């Protein structure tokens, strides 16, 4: 799944819409954008790993997996924070916030992890690496077999290394890798599923905003005797890069 296009209604909320609402929508939309880009990068890395059939993974590549997996965690957490404060979430948004509340829990555990490393090092139980494990399923082959590959994030882990649990209900594809999963602490989340749910959520939100706000703007424009097209065209869009020439006053 990919980001909403540049001309999506959410990206062009007119300045006639209250600024607080526009900032809330922008925070939610940008959070989903970050998650989509991060998932695409993870998917490309894992697809290349599957196709290459080369044992092992370069440290830099593993670090990119770690960076993007946790970018998704942070982005979904941020989306939840803003969405919960905009209004009472209902329907699809409420279901998504509930199904992904563990993203906030994962972020909070990581935030306090430094103070818990002693307990983690001394435990006799199996332990996930600090940044967790990314796993994925290969496509099904002609014999209906597939591999589940697990990649440790980071370079040092517990002697009693705990990998991701294997889900007996996996439903792999015969065309592409599936079930890209992040396992960290006591949480295991299917990033592929979350990516799909995020896309469905943001498409639905874009449609609902257009259906709600457009009639309000139409009525307001008519009452004020203004042209609706001009009202809709007056928005604060994405700023392009601005470069400022500076003069260095060195000796």
Strands 133-137 and 178-184: antiparallel
The band of 238, judged by pLDDT with boundaries at 50, 70 and 90, is: low
**What pLDDT was estimated at residue 80?**
92
SS3 content of the chain, % helix, strand, coil (to 5): 55, 10, 35
Strand partners, 134: 151, 182
Is pLDDT at 132 greater than 90 in this prediction?
no
Copy the structure tokens of residue 12.
Answer: 């062009």
**What pLDDT was estimated at residue 41?**
96
The band of 162, judged by pLDDT with boundaries at 50, 70 and 90, is: low
Q: Could you tell me if residue 80 is inside a domain? A: yes
Q: Is 142 helix (H, G, I), strand (E, B) or coil?
A: coil
Q: Could you tell me if residue 69 is inside a domain? A: yes
Mean pLDDT taken over the chain: 84
- Give the torsion sign (CA, 166, 170, 176, 178): negative
Burial (CB < 10 A; 0-12, 13-18, 19+), residue 174, is: exposed
Is pLDDT at 123 greater than 70 in this prediction?
no
36 and 1 Cβ atoms separated by less than 8 Å:
yes
Q: Which domain holds residue 198?
A: 9-233
Q: Could you tell me if residue 249 is inside a domain? A: no
Higher pLDDT, 219 or 239: 219
Copy the structure tokens of residue 49.
Answer: 């790993």
pTM of the predicted model, to two decimals? Answer: 0.85
**What pLDDT was estimated at residue 36?**
96
In angstroms, rounded to a whole number, what is the distance separating the alpha carbons of residues 43 and 59?
17
Copy the structure tokens of residue 219.
Answer: 């009525």
Count the domains in the chain.
1
Residues 51-67 pLDDT 10s: 887 677 888 998 999 99
Is pLDDT at 199 greater than 90 in this prediction?
yes
**What pLDDT was estimated at residue 59?**
86
Q: Could you tell me if residue 241 is inside a domain? A: no
The band of 72, judged by pLDDT with boundaries at 50, 70 and 90, is: very high
């Amino acid at each position: 799944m990919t980001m909403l296009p540049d001309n999506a209604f959410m990206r062009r909320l007119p300045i006639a819409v209250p600024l607080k609402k526009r900032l809330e929508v922008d925070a939610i939309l940008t959070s989903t954008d970050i998650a989509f880009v991060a998932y695409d990068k993870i998917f490309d890395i894992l697809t290349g790993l599957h196709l290459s059939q080369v044992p092992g993974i370069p440290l830099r590549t593993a670090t990119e997996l770690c960076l993007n997996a946790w970018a998704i965690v942070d982005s979904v957490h941020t989306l939840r924070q803003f969405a919960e404060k905009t209004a009472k979430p209902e329907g699809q948004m409420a279901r998504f916030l509930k199904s992904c509340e563990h993203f906030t829990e994962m972020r909070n555990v990581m935030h306090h992890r430094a103070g818990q490393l002693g307990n983690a090092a001394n435990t006799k139980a199996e332990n996930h690496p600090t940044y967790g494990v990314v796993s994925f399923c290969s496509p099904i082959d002609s014999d209906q077999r597939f591999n589940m590959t697990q990649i440790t994030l980071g370079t040092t882990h517990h002697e009693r290394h705990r990998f991701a649990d294997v889900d007996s209900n996996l439903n792999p594809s015969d065309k592409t890798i599936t079930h890209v999963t992040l396992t960290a602490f006591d949480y295991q989340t299917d990033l592929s599923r979350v990516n799909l749910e995020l896309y469905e959520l943001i498409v639905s939100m874009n449609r609902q905003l257009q259906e709600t706000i457009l009639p309000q703007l139409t009525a307001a424009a008519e009452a004020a005797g203004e042209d609706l097209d001009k009202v809709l065209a007056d928005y604060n869009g994405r700023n392009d890069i601005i470069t400022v020439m500076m003069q260095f006053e060195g000796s």
